[in-house]
Amino acid sequence: MGLIGTMEHSVLGTRHVYDACADPVFVATVLDTIRSGGRQADLRVRRVDGTEVGRDADATARGEGVPTVPRHDPGVPVSVADGTDRTTVTGGGFELTVVRRLGGSPDGLKKGPALTGTFAGGADLRLAIVSG
């Protein structure tokens, strides 16, 4: 399913790193986020004394909130095609383009509702676009 490799985290132990585009649960979640206007999770840090405090995000992501974005059943596989600057995921009645090189406007990128991100290197970057 796109396993890239494993790494060791000092507290959490072995972590599996994978390319989520072939994961139908990931695809369903991205579509839901674009449809609902969802955003990244709030960050919380637990201090040594046990108290928790919020932390500002260094990177953000948000869906556009377009109720017509199709749903995907996470139990149904998707088809994936990798390009040089994007990965195209197709399923029943939709095409999800995941942008692999941020910034600028990749040639031939379709219009549509998007998951948009902001981080220190850029703002309002289209991370994933739904069409179909």
Domain spans of the chain, in order of start? 20-131
pLDDT in tens, 4-25: 889 998 888 999 888 899 999 9
- Strand, coil or helix: what is 15? strand
Q: What is the pLDDT of residue 104?
A: 63
From the number of C-beta atoms within 10 Å of its C-beta (0-12, 13-18, 19+), residue 14 rates as exposed
C-alpha–C-alpha distance, residues 17 and 63, integer Å = 24
Is residue 108 pLDDT above 80, yes or no?
no
For residue 101, what pLDDT is reported? 82
| Gap between the Cα atoms of 96 and 114, Å rounded | 9
pLDDT band at 106 (very low <50, low <70, confident <90, very high): low
Let me know if 123 is exposed, middle or buried by CB neighbors in 10 A (0-12, 13-18, 19+).
Answer: exposed
Q: Quote the strand ranges of 2-121, DSSP E.
A: 3-9, 13-18, 43-46, 52-55, 60-63, 79-82, 86-91, 94-99, 114-119
**Confidence check: pLDDT of 111 > 80:** yes
Q: pTM for the complete prediction?
A: 0.84
Rounded to 5 degrees, what angle do the CA atoms 7, 11, 13 make?
Answer: 40
Share of residues in the chain with pLDDT > 70 (%):
95
Task: Please state the rounded mean pLDDT for residues 29-46.
Answer: 94
What pLDDT, on the 0 to 100 scale, is given for residue 68?
96
Q: What is the mean pLDDT of the chain?
A: 90
Measured on CA atoms in the order 58, 3, 113, 36, is the torsion positive or negative?
negative
Three-class SS of residue 75?
Answer: coil
Report residue 1's pLDDT band, with 50, 70 and 90 as the boundaries.
low
Amino acid, res. 58: D
